[in-house]
Chains A and B, each alone.
Chain A
């Protein structure tokens, strides 16, 4: 084997409403996307805590993203708006410690949008591939 090609390891946070449903729809429709994302489900993206995002990076995730309901359509009214604000702040913190904030993002989609879900996975995988491995990875366990 040649030198191993970098395969990003991504963590995606979804709510159990639109985000997880979009992932399910992608499955039902057999929409293919890169196998580089593991999903962590939350009751609402409003539950996302900046510490979760930082913990993921600290433990070696190459990229993190949040899949939320479309703005205005959150099942819990405005959880996605909270998530948006927290992602923004987490991006700032990442830059502070010298991590490219492009490694973190948030996507909004409705449960019917399987293709949009797959597109988000593709986009993040490609983006993080170009950025290279998370420099914190060597310190991470696992």
Chain B
């Protein structure tokens, strides 16, 4: 399906098909722009496809939208729209493709793309797997990190996107043509040649991802020499349910269960050659250790780390759980030596024991996992030269503090780990943000490449004939049995199956088709629907997971509603898994088709509802996030109302005077405020607060109260919450009692406005992680350590003789911020660790400050007499956050910040459709991170605003109020808090009040329907009648043959 791309305006190239690229492509496509998704490998998904679990939720990544198991969430996540039979009409996927040449500039790039052949036509591949059986060439599997082998002709995983085999010729395939000989559909052409094509693009988004540090470079850790030293991605494959052992961790030398496992942190990070922090390793090691504890009885897990960098939402609680609940041990040191016992292949770790005055200690382990770091992606230099953008000193894409998603080349954007090591949620924020950036640029093209979500599958819209009315007609079921030659040959007796199917109740027609998924098969099915006047269809072939969209489209093309089709997977569930019991397999196929036909005769058409969204967005909060979001939405061509509680716009940015990177925050503030004020599409209400909010996505209604008591009504389609946070005040360490105890913001103020007072300071103590009383949940505020570095470096610069002592628990200078930690130490700042059991004590006898602390290296008490103390107090959500959460009906996290729809996969969305979050309202973050998320929220909002119309509903639960007794069971049971009792509905006995499920919000899981004691709830397409079909005994005994 090649697109006409003569007019490059609004056509975007997304380079890299990992989650960042998939997310960015999806958002752009949904906003009505054309996207080419260019991936070097043979399938989408990137690194995330290899991960079994995400920290800290332990969601398996499988159904959350990765290529490995590409089904993804039906509603929110990224992947269903990438499935072969449900591809987004605005996305063209190119695999095994690289940029060979580039020219042009923003708005008009020309890329020459080089396509390596897959050798197998994905459109013809039926995944029968005969080629892989015939292939004689084994090689290590990259997907399984060389833990097992694969054939030269293969799929990286059972399910990939695109869902087809391919050949990696490499040095292994000698071209024996055996695969080509056995392929039943002539899909293989071993003589295919690479080819190039030239396409024009308006903008480019780089989502190149990262590569792992090579553990072979660090020979001292024994990787490659000692069999039981594995790297972290290998360990991920072991614990992944789709890994070589389906989740069992085994010692490579003898395949036994390890009893003692060690993780070594910072392998290839925070060292001389790679002076940055890879940001993700502390958390993935914690995850891996917890998984070991869950899977292996009595296993000892010990992590050797320098700092515990658990700096994101819920990470701290997760980290605490790992040692409190699971008993993972953390030892704060770098090891000094790793050796092997050659007899047992056990590994001996030598390290200075921090628990024992740094005495050298030996410890024996069955297995050692190297927590390898993040490196710039392979080929980054070549791409940067071709496209003409800069790399930074570490080899990642150079970005600007205030334009974090733009490369140095205008029109080229960057997202994900290619700009800095980062985890999944931040990568997705970046990706949505880069898409948002591009939407501003091509606002006049938004919605120009139409698509439709009218049907359960994606379509271009308006291409189907009118739908036949089947209301009241007796069911006439057509059964189509795919032969899928030779997948079922000799196992399923297709002729007998067809013959039998014709005899089932309501079946008007049964026939076999060669390959239902090929054009001829499709045409045959459509013709038979017309000829036999069928109004229900059963397709007996392969999995609905891969082919449902295709056949839903087929029946729709024949004039039937797409929900009048039922699939029965006889290839997967009968032929492939029962090859040695053909008689029983055939009977099972017959029984499953019988049930399928019974269910089909009960199916009813389902139509979605539509709403035409208004063109206005409401942005709550006028700080850097709110202003950035407002500008991006307005630049994309939609109206924005910006609400700010205070007198002036600016938020926390008003209190920040300088940045550790050297950029000028004042300039950013002036820029944003000026642009917001003059923008013709932005209406600003300062001194105003939200007091009422109602409606549904696309048609929300807000009431704003101004400080003078008047109110304004604002109808809007979407809302963005950007209400920020604040530095807390504490009643500790003499803050507020002694004039020389300051918070870091106050200290920063002094550094700028009262510099002369600081020039003769002799000693300053900075205390990190100061948590206010009453905050139950300890969490990392993320920005304080870097602020401390900033202020310490600034003070050292003006007063080098001042002794600065930083008292800390863990230094969280993640990513490239590590350099400021290094600089602070180089300038002579002293760092002393403290623990929660031995917190520093601050006293002031005679007005002088005294700090008592237990030094953890020397293990003896220390007394410091500083002239000044600066406290890093926690960042808390803004006042009124709880009230706002209630108004908007959105939840808060344990830490009190707004809780997004999914902390990994949907970090800028709420479960409630059409409301988005960004900035510190989500979690404490740096300016550049707030800007990224603000752009992400704007991109998501713009995507929504571009939908004309917006479709909702479909397979959702419906309550029959006449049966509802108002018992609230559904209200309690719903995992998404959707049902609520409506006073204007009448329930059983015409009594006032019955439960109601808003189709715009329902996720269609049916949990409420399964629980409702009055049986008042039915889930469309899965009604009790449709599941049980009691008159045809669908759930009970099998047919006799």
Contact = CB atoms under 8 A, between A and B. Distances in A.
Interface string A91-121: 0000000000000000001111111101000
Contacts of B240: 112
Given A78-B1007, A113-B247, 4 more contacts: A21-B71, A30-B579, A32-B579, A142-B1038
B69 A140 contact: no
B1035 interface: yes
A131 to B, nearest CB: 16
Interface in B584-643: 584-585, 587-588, 591-592, 595
B668 interface: no
B1005 A46 contact: yes
B1027 interface: yes
Contacts of A73: 58-60
B1037 A24 contact: no
B1036 A58 contact: yes
A47 to B, nearest CB: 3
A84 interface: no
Interface stretch (B182-190, B213-221, B567-575, B825-833): B567-575
B1036 A82 contact: no
Given A23-B573, A25-B158, A43 B1019 contact: yes
B158 A29 contact: yes
B223 interface: no
B1035 A11 contact: yes
Interface string A27-38: 111111101111
Closest 10 CB pairs of A and B: A59-B1036, A112-B242, A60-B1037, A47-B1006, A27-B572, A46-B1007, A77-B975, A112-B241, A76-B1005, A28-B158
B1036 A60 contact: yes
A30 B1003 CA distance: 33
A25 B1035 contact: no
Contacts of B544: 16, 20, 41
A61 interface: yes
B1033 A59 contact: yes
B603 to A, nearest CB: 14
A117 to B, nearest CB: 9
Contacts of A47: 1005-1007, 1009-1010, 1019, 1022
B986 to A, nearest CB: 26
A142 B1039 contact: yes
Given A112-B241, A137-B1037, A140-B1036, A20 B545 contact: yes
Nearest to B583: A35
A39 B1006 CA distance: 18
Interface residues on A, range: 35 or more
Interface residues on B, range: 35 or more
Given A9-B1037, A38-B591, A46 B62 contact: no
Interface string B55-69: 000111011000011
A72 interface: yes
A54 B34 CA distance: 51
Interface string A61-79: 1000000011011111111
Contacts, number: 211
A50 to B, nearest CB: 8
Interface of B: 52, 58-60, 62-63, 68-69, 71, 73, 127, 129, 158-159, 240-243, 246-247, 543-545, 569, 571-574, 576-581, 584-585, 587-588, 591-592, 595, 955, 973, 975-976, 1003-1007, 1009-1011, 1019, 1022, 1024, 1027-1028, 1030, 1032-1039
Given A55-B1028, A73-B59, A111-B62, A44 B572 contact: no
Nearest to B69: A111
Contacts of B591: 38
Contacts of A24: 158-159, 543, 545, 569, 572
Contact of A40 (B241, B581, B1011, B1027): B1027
B106 to A, nearest CB: 41
A19 to B, nearest CB: 11
A21 B241 CA distance: 12
Contact of B69 (A41, A55, A109, A112): A112
B1005 A43 contact: yes
Contacts of B1024: 49, 51-52
Nearest to B59: A73
A27 B577 contact: yes
A48 interface: yes
Q: Is the interface of B mostly helix, strand, loop or mixed?
A: loop
Nearest to A74: B975
B1010 A31 contact: no
A40 B428 CA distance: 35
A38 B1036 CA distance: 10
Contacts of B973: 82
Contacts of B581: 35
Nearest to B543: A24
A43 B1027 CA distance: 11
B578 A32 contact: yes
Contacts of A112: 52, 60, 62, 68-69, 158, 240-243, 246
A40 B1029 CA distance: 12
A40 B1007 contact: no
24 contacts: A9-B1037, A11-B1035, A11-B1036, A20-B545, A35-B587, A38-B591, A47-B1010, A49-B1010, A55-B1030, A56-B1036, A59-B1036, A61-B1036, A75-B1005, A76-B976, A76-B1005, A77-B975, A78-B1007, A79-B975, A82-B1011, A110-B242, A111-B71, A111-B241, A112-B62, A142-B1039
A85 B291 CA distance: 25
B695 to A, nearest CB: 25
A25 B157 CA distance: 10
Nearest to B1031: A141
Contact of A28 (B52, B159, B955): B159
A76 B1019 CA distance: 15
A79 B1022 CA distance: 15
A35 B68 CA distance: 27
A128 interface: no
A43 B1004 contact: yes
Highest count of chain B CB atoms <10 Å: which of A7, A43, A48: A43
B591 to A, nearest CB: 6
A23 B546 CA distance: 13
Contact of A30 (B246, B576, B955, B1038): B576
A109 B241 contact: yes
A88 interface: no
Contacts of B69: 21, 25, 111-112
Contacts of A59: 1030, 1033, 1035-1037
A21 B941 CA distance: 32
A48 B1010 contact: yes
A52 B573 contact: no
Nearest to B157: A112
Nearest to A30: B576
A72 B975 CA distance: 13
A86 B1011 CA distance: 9
Contacts of A11: 1035-1036
Contact of B63 (A29, A51, A56, A111): A111
Contacts of A111: 60, 62-63, 69, 71, 241-242
A26 B1027 contact: no
Contacts of B1009: 47, 49
B246 A113 contact: yes
